[in-house]
Structure 1
Amino acid sequence: MAAEGSTQLLTAVILLGAAVIAVPLFKRLGLGAVLGYLAAGLVIGPFGLGFISDVDSMLHVAELGVVMFLFLIGLEMNPSHLWGLRKQIFGLGALQVLISGALVMCMGKLLNYSWQTAFIIASGFVLNSTAIIMQILSERGDMGSSHGQKIISILLFEDLMIVPLLAIIAFLSPVETLTDAEPLWQKFAVATGSLALLIVSGIWLLNPLFKALAWTKLREMMTAAALLVVLGAAFLMEHAGLSAAMGAFIAGVLLSNSSFRHQLEADIEPFRGLLLGLFFLGVGMSLDLTLVFNHFWEILIGVLALMLANGTGVFLAALFTRSNIMEALDRAFIMVIGGEFAFVLFSAAASQHVITAQRQAMGAAIIILSMVLSPLFILFFKKVIVPRLHKPTAEREDDHIDEIYPIIMVGFGRFGQIVNDVLAMTNHQVTIIDRDEEIIAGMRKIGIKAYYGDAERPELLHYAGIESAKLLIVTSGNKAKCTHIVEMARKMNPNIRILARAYDLFHVYELYEKGADRQVRETFDAALRTARYALEDLGDIEQEKINEITRVYYEENSRRLRLMSEVHDPKITKKFENKEMIRVALEHDQKTMSHIQQIIQRED
């Protein structure tokens, strides 16, 4: 027993050590974390140095990383967002599967595969690797972009194709093996029923469960419940013949509007990262180097030819759905690879005598090699192709806004980020628009979705849902842009509440005239807080009176601004030349000072 435990500990040390050495090294070389995991797995696996031999058992555990990754993706997509992607899922997804599948099958025939083998290989390629592609999108901060959302939609459709493809494999089987197979209608009924059960349970049971557990105030129970939901949903879908990852994704979507969403993300994230890395290690270990060396040229030609066919199919599907050349090429290089579910398809096909055991092994090697080569192809695209096609002077197109919320925020710099933090922490969802590409990419890396676009264009505000929005927050530091957006938004929706960041007093007056309900001077609150600290440090006024003084000053200053706005003349552009405004300001300042003096002199 002790020896067995020691062996397990040694296995864990080897896995962690390989990852810790390889992944930072490959990241440093610009090759990406995924290729680092794959290379480390290849080195320590049974066909490398042979430190670990039981790859299948480890892969079964590591697949939970993919499951948890999809759960976290689901938490970012509420049901209305998913419904908004339905055309991409069933339209773009179906188109890509059909085109890529047809081209890979044709290429398989050119390589002298039987048409049954060509179909099985094509199925393995059109069901792309969810784990690797999602990881690439996550590393690039592309999960929330329009381009990334299209790729995720395609992956969701590919997961739906699992049951039909397994059914087709059963039909391709020789007659004597068909008698034991379940009827297609029964498989479809079980899958549909399980899906309905998961959705109903998610709607009626999950939130009450987490509310009850929150009452116990035991953090470990919340973590256990989160794992129970993820693994339970995955088990239900896998038992029904669907993808375990799809079950976890649906569970995430059902909990996306829950008040426990952020805690669930924090609980699951550590397990997701560790197990996903373990999955990539397992894929690297699975590559049979002996088979590759014995059939080197056949496998190499097969990998390159089938990846070319699959990538061409992805590229054509993107062009047919009006993507530009750069986006179509990027998607083709990302989705050129086969997927982990190919191993299930190949195993089912071999067990039902559709393909031989030799073809199963070679097909698996081709899929694994496509995964291994994927980061290199993406690096080639980034370093060689992009610089030759990229036009530095071309203006980036506005992102497609696929989520409409009651709150719209324009500008996401240091000012807007603080406002959004408070709103997010109080369960409010915001459609964020900004023109800083670095900020957009950076925020997406930490899970905050923001859209690139010019909010001075009325059509962008229309796509963001300005006509039905309850609140517009303009935090842009550009005075002219801020004023123009406020004016335009007020015309497009007379009933919307508008909060706008103001540069100075004169900007406050402009915003007031253009229809902003509240104008927030960017330095006023910081200056007032500094004045309060100064009074506290001087120590000659009690803390309670200091708090009251700053509150009174804030309220009176707001009244002062309203009175001055009423006599503001935009034709007078120079400061201190509007005598009526000066008179109003001085009179109100005298009243405010009198009020504050009364507070100081009051005997409590």
Structure 2
Amino acid sequence: MAVEGDPNNLLRAVALLGAAVVAVPLFRKLGLGSVLGYLTAGLVIGPFGFGWFAHPQAILHFAELGVVMFLFIVGLEMRPSHLWGLRRQIFGLGALQIGVCTVALTGVGLLFGFPLPVAFVGGAGFVLTSTAIVMQLLGERGDIALPRGQRMVSILLFEDMLIVPLLALMAFMSPLPTDPDAPSRLASIGIATASLVGLLLAGLYLLNPMFRILAAAKAREVMTAAALLVVLGAAVLMEMGGLSMAMGAFLAGVLLSESTFRHQIEADIEPFRGILLGLFFVAVGMSLDLSVVVANWQLIALAVPALMLAKGACIYGVARLLRSSHGDALDRAALMAQGGEFAFVLYSAAMAAGIITAEANSNLTAIVVLSMVLTPLVVLAIRPLMPRTQASLDGVEEVDGQRGSVLIIGFGRFGQVMSQSLLARDVDVTIIDTDIEMITSAAEFGFKVYYGDGGRLDVLHASGAHSARAIAVCIDKPETSSHIVEVARTHFPQAKLLVRAYDREHSLKLVNAGVDFQIRETFESAVAFGEAALREVGVDAEEAAEIAAQVRKLDAERFELEMASNDVRAGIPMLLNNTGGVAPKPTPFTTPRREGRALHASEGEALPGEGAQPAD
């Protein structure tokens, strides 16, 4: 029995959430991505799987709000000036890609024997890329803000705007008699314009004052309700005007992008966006009518790859024509080669207008859904074909035969602070890093940082490690720093080795590896912070200092016990740092290792049973 028949609607929610909770982690673990996990979950629990849901279209219509909220959040990241800067990509690149793809896809439809109107409708629907899938995949990779991601976002925005004239075109192509009660085309244009103007005026003059009033009330739940009201209200207003709900939400986000409440609104919307977008993908998976696929399997099996290849080839060609790199063009073609959710709207309108039959609508819908299901797999399949991206070294000097008393590897926050003492004493230092942006920024402040991977022996030689008196490893990745320690200890024994440790476990490994000095990255600053907190609550400064010293002593004792229990550097006496007792009183930052004895400097460890702090 379908779940909808049960009066307890909670069972439906449990089924949806349970399917997602099981499928998505599994598919991500397999490297297939969350989108394919949602789609598969929907197929399994849908009417053509276990049959728990009989009417997925109702869920799909509701879950489209996930796409709406996604575009609202994208709009929040795009200030009007930035959007204006994308106008050529939206109306230039977008129009060119859509035009070329529509002609090619219509041609594919004609080759399959469809009449011209049906071929055109099928191609025009398939050209409308799935905003939800592309944005989700871009978001997972962190590419939305990159230039290649912005170009795809621009094309998606143009496609969202295109649905309006396409729906009007369906009415114009309809062979059915005109409904006398339907509003005229001129009236429809007027309503759409009025809706757009109303949204713009509300965004400019009403939204910020409303959020200021609500913020003054200090009611968090009301702010969340207001954020939802803005998103859904903008979507409904645009839908009433015959425009795209997603476009309305996007414009509302753009209008709030410079608001002081932008980050709060985004935080309030994000949980709803994630849940509803996942629900949308589940509903798409449910919508795949396997009976249609089985009945027309030959047509669908040929049409899906043919349409995806044709669209992908056109996207690649347009991208290369406009001087995109091979990698960017191939990536865009793979991500955008599928049909999208707006195709369902267009096909339904075309069927209502008598342009295509119900059977053609079912076939075209199945083709689009299958293309959406295959997209994550296509992206995985083309990954080996993608050229390896290398950062541009324009304006960046690679390390080559440098000499210095101290070689500093890594110039992040830690490396920048530790280098100040050396530079103040005019010590000759060589600094290497692999972060191009950081190297460029450091040059603006007068720091000479060379490009070089400290984990490579040849780079270390070129950096002067063979003649350096000390090598300071200041990077925040424990695996990489341990590798550098192994290479440096083997090939450059003349250099003292000072290493930034990530946590207690990493410190133990470094001492075991024979480093001359290691320091955990957050412990000492946290102890100083706690000492300051004691003083601020009224504890005497001398007593606060004694407590801080006791914290250091207890931490050093725990460290010594752990080393003993793990047989670290067996037979070598261990000294406590900075506490007296077995060791003299060295300072935690300046005492080197002498006579084979490791002086431990503590920084950066949680208490037993607690998680370690993350690296910088």
Contact 2:176 2:354 in 1 (8 A): no
Output the amino acid matched with 1:306.
L
Task: Map 1:116-265; keep pairs closer than 5 Å.
Answer: 116-174=117-175, 176-177=177-178, 181-265=182-266
Contact 1:23 1:33 in 2 (8 A): yes
Output the amino acid matched with 2:19.
A
Alignment-derived partner of residue 302 in structure 1: 303
Are residues 1:479 and 2:447 paired? yes
Residue 480 of structure 1 aligns to a residue whose secondary structure is coil
CA displacement 1:3-37 (0-9 Å, x = unmatched): 97753111111111111111111101110000000
Q: Distance in 1 between matches of 2:84 and 2:437?
A: 23
Alignment-derived partner of residue 515 in structure 1: none
Distance 1:476 1:30, change over 3 A: farther
How large is the Cα RMSD of the aligned pairs? 3.3
Structure 1 window deviating more from structure 2 (170-179 vs 19-28): it is: 170-179
Distance 1:349 1:436, change over 3 A: farther
Distance 1:16 1:529, change over 3 A: closer
Q: Distance in 2 between matches of 1:244 and 1:32?
A: 27
Distance 1:535 1:177, change over 3 A: closer
Alignment-derived partner of residue 380 in structure 1: 381
Distance 1:308 1:71, change over 3 A: same
CA displacement 1:158-196 (0-9 Å, x = unmatched): 111111101111111115246565433332222222111
Contact 2:167 2:349 in 1 (8 A): yes
Contact 1:104 1:309 in 2 (8 A): yes
Task: Map 1:58-69; keep pairs closer than 5 Å.
Answer: 58-69=59-70
Residue 242 of structure 1 aligns to a residue whose secondary structure is coil
Aligned-pair CA distance for 1:534: 12
Q: Distance in 2 between matches of 1:417 and 1:90?
A: 45
Residue 50 of structure 2 aligns to a residue whose secondary structure is coil
Alignment-derived partner of residue 356 in structure 1: 357
Aligned-pair CA distance for 1:265: 1.0
Contact 2:176 2:353 in 1 (8 A): no
Q: Distance in 2 between matches of 1:173 and 1:416?
A: 69
Task: Map 1:29-178; keep pairs closer than 5 Å.
Answer: 29-174=30-175, 176-177=177-178
CA displacement 1:34-92 (0-9 Å, x = unmatched): 00000010010001110111212211211111111111111111111111111111111
The alignment's TM-score, normalised by the length of structure 1, stands at: 0.67
Alignment-derived partner of residue 266 in structure 1: 267
Residue 98 of structure 1 aligns to a residue whose secondary structure is helix
Q: Distance in 2 between matches of 1:305 and 1:280?
A: 23
Q: Distance in 2 between matches of 1:12 and 1:151?
A: 34
Which of the two has greater helix per residue? 1
Q: Distance in 1 between matches of 2:223 and 2:151?
A: 33
Contact 1:338 1:371 in 2 (8 A): yes
Distance 1:272 1:540, change over 3 A: closer
Distance 1:108 1:412, change over 3 A: farther
Q: Distance in 1 between matches of 2:144 and 2:347?
A: 30
Are residues 1:17 and 2:13 paired? no
Structure 1 window deviating more from structure 2 (170-179 vs 39-48): it is: 170-179
Residue 258 of structure 1 aligns to a residue whose secondary structure is coil
Aligned-pair CA distance for 1:123: 1.3
Distance 1:139 1:414, change over 3 A: farther
CA displacement 1:77-122 (0-9 Å, x = unmatched): 1111111111111111111100111111111111111111111111
Task: Map 1:302-451; keep pairs closer than 5 Å.
Answer: 302-382=303-383, 384-386=384-386, 389-390=387-388, 394-396=390-392, 413-414=412-413
Aligned-pair CA distance for 1:480: 1.1
Residue 18 of structure 1 aligns to a residue whose secondary structure is helix
Contact 2:42 2:285 in 1 (8 A): yes
- Aligned pair count? 439
Distance 1:531 1:40, change over 3 A: closer
Aligned-pair CA distance for 1:146: 0.4
Q: Distance in 2 between matches of 1:318 and 1:110?
A: 26
Q: Distance in 1 between matches of 2:234 and 2:173?
A: 31
Alignment-derived partner of residue 397 in structure 2: none
Q: Which has the higher contact order (CA 8 A, sep 6+)?
A: 1
Distance 1:341 1:320, change over 3 A: same
CA displacement 1:196-217 (0-9 Å, x = unmatched): 1101110000000000111111
Output the amino acid matched with 1:340.
E
Contact 1:177 1:352 in 2 (8 A): no
Q: Distance in 1 between matches of 2:529 and 2:46?
A: 62
Contact 2:443 2:449 in 1 (8 A): no
Identity of aligned residues (%): 54
Q: Distance in 1 between matches of 2:444 and 2:20?
A: 43
Distance 1:333 1:365, change over 3 A: same
The alignment's TM-score, normalised by the length of structure 2, stands at: 0.66
Output the amino acid matched with 1:258.
S
Distance 1:74 1:296, change over 3 A: same
Q: Distance in 2 between matches of 1:344 and 1:251?
A: 23
Q: Distance in 2 between matches of 1:131 and 1:212?
A: 34
Distance 1:77 1:534, change over 3 A: closer
Aligned-pair CA distance for 1:239: 1.3
Q: Distance in 1 between matches of 2:333 and 2:179?
A: 37
Aligned-pair CA distance for 1:538: 11
Q: Distance in 1 between matches of 2:95 and 2:539?
A: 71
Distance 1:478 1:298, change over 3 A: farther
Output the amino acid matched with 1:150.
R
Residue 242 of structure 2 aligns to a residue whose secondary structure is coil
CA displacement 1:265-289 (0-9 Å, x = unmatched): 1111110111111000000000000
Distance 1:275 1:175, change over 3 A: closer
Q: Distance in 2 between matches of 1:236 and 1:535?
A: 56
Contact 1:535 1:541 in 2 (8 A): no
Residue 114 of structure 2 aligns to a residue whose secondary structure is coil
